[in-house]
Chains A and B, each alone.
Chain A
Amino acid sequence: MARISAGIATSHVPLIGVAIDQNRGHEPYFKPILAAYDWTRHWISRPENKPDVVILVYNDHASAFDMNIIPTFAIGCAERFAPADEGWGPRPVPMVENHAPLAWHIAQSLILDDFDMTIINKMDVDHGLTVPLSAVFGQPDAWPTRVIPLAVNVVTYPVPSGNRCWLLGEAIARAVESFDEDLTVQIWGTGGMSHQLQGKRAGLINQAWDQRFLDDMVADPARLRAIPHIEYLRETGSEGIEMVMWLIMRGALGPNVRELHRAYHVPASNTALGHLVLEKTS
């Protein structure tokens, strides 16, 4: 039987990818950014922590989806996905290999569980998906895990509520646990933390709010489920709303988790970088 073992939350700032792709991690600006992942890179390289499959929750940034199609929740079911050309050329990273039988199984289970998923086959994956893989796995010739992309609309409002994201996470856990193959599955929630990329208020960072969010991923997740969109917008900047995707991960882990690692650093480009590794406990 497949089982979810752990969850990772991380920002997916494009600049993290730049630091890795251009081997600039030694520069003073980038050092603390990449150091946030040192512990995680070591932890996940141990055989007992290595996932067979990662369900990677992220948002597309006008790369695979344009204004013609805006799926609230989309799951990638093709055999593999290529890195997107976002205007600077595609990132020099490996193809993303799916676990298609599990992806299709999750898609079917979610639909029967009242989540009307959009199923995507041909899709290029942008920095939202590939930057977390680089941050955690570095620069391998092939990604050491299968990856199921799960894309969430956090751009065009209304985006899904935090509570809806949490419930989707719970349904993903039920779907994984009903898959017959013996697999270790991790779920990653990406994006955030506070940042605003537009208008006169651009550059907003709210460290106190972010730190409390990190605390309550373990201490009081019920509070996080109830945070309305307007609070994310006012307190964490217009792009801080990406943090609802962390709640899909958190919902999938179930009631009991243990924090294994935490990192927080300002700035990474315009953004507060946040990173958590959570272990599912019984």
Chain B
Amino acid sequence: MPDRLKDYLAAFDDIPGTRVYTTERAREGYWVNQFCMSLMKPANRERWRADERAYLVDWPMTDAQKEALLARDYNRLLDLGANIYYLAKVFSTDGLSFVQAVSTMTGMSVDEYQAMMLAGGRSPEGVRSIKEGS
């Protein structure tokens, strides 16, 4: 049975441009994600908006996680264990939609990304597997 879990998880790392939200990421990102949840309360959103750096002092995150939050570097945050549904609390507080926030992770402008979606979205061709290049 241990091999079954190992193989299950290993396959996730073969998908280009994707971080599957595994328990390893959930453990690393616990406080980032719980910080994000705190922004569901209006009073906390006010405190965060007033002084982001000061608001982060209370949260036991790594410096890398805090810097990535301040920079709104969502790809880096995913690498450091954040999950997109939690990060949505940050970008909704910024007044951004899912399309606006998600496009920042793709290296495309919001307009380019929106145009791609209107044209039918990103094709799966060539982005299914790193190993297979398919």
Spell out A's residues near B (CB within 8 Å).
14-15, 61-63, 66-68, 85-88, 155-158, 194, 196-207, 209, 229-230, 233-235, 238, 266-267, 269-270, 272
Contact B30 A270 (CB under 8 A): no
User: If the complex has contacts A61-B88, A233-B12, A233-B15, are A205 and B105 also in contact, measured as CB distance less than 8 A?
Assistant: no
Bound state CA distance, A88 and B18, in angstroms? Answer: 27
Chain B interface size, as a band, is 35 or more
Contact B88 A199 (CB under 8 A): no
Instruction: Indicate if B2 sits at the interface (CB-CB under 8 A).
Output: no
A-B CB contact pairs (8 Å), 10 listed: A15-B97, A196-B18, A201-B127, A203-B116, A203-B117, A238-B18, A238-B19, A267-B121, A269-B97, A270-B102
Bound state CA distance, A87 and B92, in angstroms? Answer: 6
| Total A-B pairs, Cβ < 8 A | 149
Contacts of A205 in B (CB 8 A): 117, 120-123
Bound state CA distance, A85 and B44, in angstroms? Answer: 13
The residue that B26 contacts in the complex, of A67, A86, A200, A230, with Cβ under 8 A, is A67
Contact with A along B92-134 (1 / 0, CB 8 A): 1100011100110111000001001110111110011100000
Contact B15 A234 (CB under 8 A): yes
Greatest chain A CB density within 10 A among B18, B40, B103 is at B18
Contact B120 A207 (CB under 8 A): yes
Q: Is the interface of A mostly helix, strand, loop or mixed?
A: loop
Least CB distance, A61 to chain B, in whole angstroms = 4
Q: Is the interface of B mostly helix, strand, loop or mixed?
A: helix
Contact B83 A203 (CB under 8 A): no
Instruction: Indicate if B61 sits at the interface (CB-CB under 8 A).
Output: no
Contacts of A238 in B (CB 8 A): 15, 18-21
Contact A201 B116 (CB under 8 A): no
The residue that A156 contacts in the complex, of B23, B34, B124, with Cβ under 8 A, is B23
Contacts of A200 in B (CB 8 A): 16-17, 75, 105-107
Taking A62-B83, A87-B93, A234-B128 as known contacts, 17 extra A-B pairs with beta carbons closer than 8 A to each other, sorted by chain A number, are: A62-B33, A62-B36, A88-B92, A156-B83, A157-B20, A200-B105, A201-B17, A201-B127, A205-B120, A205-B121, A229-B8, A230-B12, A233-B12, A234-B129, A269-B97, A270-B99, A270-B117
